[in-house]
Amino acid sequence: MTERLIRRALISVSDKSGLTDLARALAQYGVAVVSTGGTAKALRDAGIKVTDVSAVTGFPEVMDGRVKTLHPKVHGGLLAVRDEPQHALAMRAHGIEGIDLLICNLYPFEETVAKGASFEETLENIDIGGPAMIRAAAKNHDWVTVVVDPEDYPTLLAELASTGGHTRAETRRTFAQTAYARTAAYDAAVSNWLAEELAKSGEAKPPRRRALAGRLREALRYGENPHQQAAFYATGEKRYGVATAKQLQGKELSYNNITDTDAAYEMVAEFGSSVPACAIIKHANPCGVAEGANILDAYSKALRCDPVSAFGGIVALNRTLDAEAARAITEIFTEVIIAPDASEEAIAIVAAKKNLRLLLAGGLPDPRASGLTVKSVAGGLLCNHVTMQLSTRCSFIS
């Protein structure tokens, strides 16, 4: 593999952030742009020259846009090995032009599920043409550059700037890996949604295959032990907790911080919000769990369960952290405090401990909500599906 000149690009995106700036930058390198539907309209509205994909295929977009890029002149342009004689002959015989760059992101399926859309609306947000093009371009990354995330536009443009409009082999391969990971995660989201829909009947068996995926939230300093590498991935599940909480202060969370914080917050959520409750966890072991007249009382009772082991632990609360509780918690060394919210005075008190992490989750996870939890074991995965009928939930970071 070597550097490849970008002459022709196909752009088809649902997320249009950064789109016009990208297209203008491509125009500076003389790149011809082919596009679809709403993407083409957005580019034209911005004064950017674009060719409709229907003009390339000779076939209109049909079936409410379900069929528009599923055509040999698109996939041939993406899959052709340009220096293979039979491929080159087929391109000439059928009037297929090569596509050097594919910019494509998918229908917002995960967002549609998260907002609680109907079955029919969710089904229509399953992208077909997008994943097919992405997989084709990624397979042929010796010739084609594929970009699926707007956050990678600056990397692409920096590459073009440094090479005079080319892309390097290593960059194309990196983009291809990202592309396959995206389509894998997308298919995982779809299959898990369908599994959840089947489970609602209470009659579905465990799926023959279970796909899991996540998006990198942050690379961690090390794993469970200092010699191990680790990273934190978010699934996109709209569940209050460590993966969705806002960290107000303190150093980065460690692998063990994350597992303990998740366990502590899920535990305290079992109490709901009607009675103040506190859970203290350290190294995956409960040091104390208690209810109280208020948050300070609940913390004090939980601490008395095992005040020695609580040193360096995780404190989870099911109510807003107030000043009185903040003062008490900061009297001993604590790694993390997680709560639905915190008062301004409490935030200021915690801020005096610069390494103490304060996480505000925004709410409590519903222990009765249906969903999937996963724990890895050697050579496999244990999947626990919780339904609305159950009153408790046991969770693991996956």
- Give catalytic status of residue 283 as yes or no: yes
**Catalytic position from the list 49, 94, 200, 283:** 283
Beta strand residue intervals within the chain, DSSP E: 4-5, 8-12, 32-35, 51-52, 101-104, 145-147, 166-167, 215-219, 231-234, 246-249, 277-282, 285-291, 313-317, 334-339, 357-360, 371-377, 380-386
Cβ(361)–Cβ(265) below 8 Å: yes
Q: Can you give the C-alpha Rg of the chain in angstroms?
A: 26
Cα–Cα distance, 321 to 325 (Å, whole number): 6
| Angle value at C-alpha 315, between 312 and 317, nearest 5 degrees | 175
Single out the residue of 70, 203, 64 nearest to residue 123, CA to CA.
64
- Name 114's Cβ contacts closer than 8 Å, sequence gap at least 6: 236, 238
- Give catalytic status of residue 246 as yes or no: no
**Catalytic position from the list 139, 166, 353, 385:** 139
Based on the number of CB atoms within 10 Å of its own CB, is 184 exposed (0-12), middle (13-18) or buried (19 or more)?
middle
Q: Three-state SS for 82?
A: coil
Cβ(280)–Cβ(289) below 8 Å: yes
Rounded to 5 degrees, φ, ψ at 225 are: -125, 155
Which residues are designated catalytic? 139, 283
